[in-house]
Chain A
């Protein structure tokens, strides 16, 4: 854990250490929300910049990662509003319309599409659980939710993903 006081004083070495500790978490959350690597990287950079600018307002007793993820969420939601869609929502099959079997997608693409049907909060939770292997308590601390709420969101997200895959990509489910 980095020293919050040193961060507040603008110690660049501490900041570098903090970035290397948290960048993967941020990148996975950012990708979870935006579902686009380029945008995710831009959002992470912007979030760190805003964090660094507002370092003097850091709460020494607070959970800095939660603060950082909150900044990232705001940045990502602003980006989402700007482009109004994630991962080219037009590419996602409309409900009731079966995927053309001739256009077989790779498994990674299928998973990306299944992720796109989730809500942003659910995507963040899936991202943190799958990339960082965080447990529901840790995810809850970062997002300001109870562990049981996190589990419930995760369960519902995975169920929806599974149902989507079975319906539109039955070959993946076989």
Chain B
């Protein structure tokens, strides 16, 4: 085998990654070739420096407790996620309450009725009573001025104009 081929195997040979057959070939060649032995010396030097470089850098990691830092960051994130969820829950609750109030107001506006209570009493004697009185809200009439003489004019459905005569 030529020196050039052998020298290509040297990094693997020197790290013990070469297969046994090629290892033997390389080893045999090295015993008889000064040039390749010199090349191996350089490879070993590069390899040693690489070992040192990585050892120093990797050992720098153990000076910091990575697990604790990661768990702390993870807890911190969990805390802010929970905090955000609570905040959102409050916003949703407030929104739901406001929506309910608006809905109730809107419905009451839709189904509003002209105050039938007083009018019932007041217009009991009026001839147009049955024409405009709402049928359902039969509440106890607070009869006021029933005895008073009045005239009733229907303005709209459920809206009457009552004029009294003293």
Residues of A near any B CB (own CB < 8 A):
12, 15-16, 19-20, 23-28, 31-32, 37, 40-41, 44-45, 48-49, 52-53, 107-108, 110-112, 114-115, 126-127, 129-131, 135-136, 151, 154-155, 158-159, 161-162, 165-166, 172-173
> Chain A contacts of B9 at CB under 8 A?
155
| Smallest CB separation, A134 vs chain B (Å) | 10
CB-CB under 8 A from A112, the residues of chain B are 53
Distance (Å) between the CB of A146 and the closest chain B CB?
13
Q: Is B93 an interface residue (CB 8 A)?
A: no
Closest to A129 in B: B15
Contact between A111 and B11, CB atoms less than 8 A apart = no
Apart from A32-B54, A48-B70, A131-B58: 5 A-B pairs, beta carbons within 8 A: A15-B71, A37-B60, A108-B49, A155-B8, A162-B42
Bound-state CA distance A112–B52 (Å) is: 11
Q: How far is the CB of A173 from chain B (nearest CB, A)?
A: 6
Contacting residue for A23 out of B8, B45, B46, B62, CB 8 A: B62
**For residue B21, which residues in chain A have a CB less than 8 angstroms away from its CB?**
none
Cα distance A76–B93 in the bound complex, in angstroms: 43
> 28 A-B Cβ contacts within 8 A?
A15-B71, A16-B67, A19-B70, A24-B58, A24-B59, A24-B61, A25-B58, A28-B54, A28-B57, A31-B58, A32-B54, A37-B57, A37-B60, A41-B61, A44-B66, A45-B69, A48-B67, A49-B73, A52-B74, A108-B53, A126-B50, A130-B47, A130-B50, A135-B16, A158-B46, A165-B42, A166-B42, A172-B45
Task: Say yes or no: is B138 at the interface (Cβ < 8 Å to chain A).
Answer: no
Closest to A17 in B: B67
Q: Does B64 contact A41, Cβ atoms closer than 8 Å? A: yes
For residue B8, which residues in chain A have a CB less than 8 angstroms away from its CB? 155, 159
Cβ of B112 within 8 Å of any chain A Cβ, yes or no, is: no
* Interchain CB contact under 8 A, A31 and B71: no
Question: Interface residue count for B (Cβ, 8 Å)?
Answer: 34
Residues of B within 8 A of A (CB): 8-9, 11-12, 15-17, 42-43, 45-47, 49-55, 57-62, 64, 66-71, 73-74
Given the interface contacts A19-B66, A49-B70, A158-B43, does A135 sit within 8 Å of B57 by beta carbon?
no
A130 — which chain B residues lie within 8 A by C-beta?
47, 50-51, 53-54
Which residues in A have their C-beta under 8 angstroms from that of B62? 23-24
When chains A and B are docked, how far (Å) is the Cα of A3 from the Cα of B8? 42
A154 touching B58 in the complex, CB below 8 Å, given contacts A15-B67, A130-B47, A131-B51:
no
Cβ of B17: which chain A residues have Cβ within 8 Å of it?
A: 129, 135-136, 151, 154
**How near does chain A come to B80, taking the closest CB pair, in angstroms?**
14
Interchain nearest-CB distance for B35 vs A (Å):
14
Chain A residues with CB under 8 Å of B69's CB are 45
Judge whether A12 and B61 touch: CB under 8 Å: no
**A173-B61 in contact (CB<8A):** no
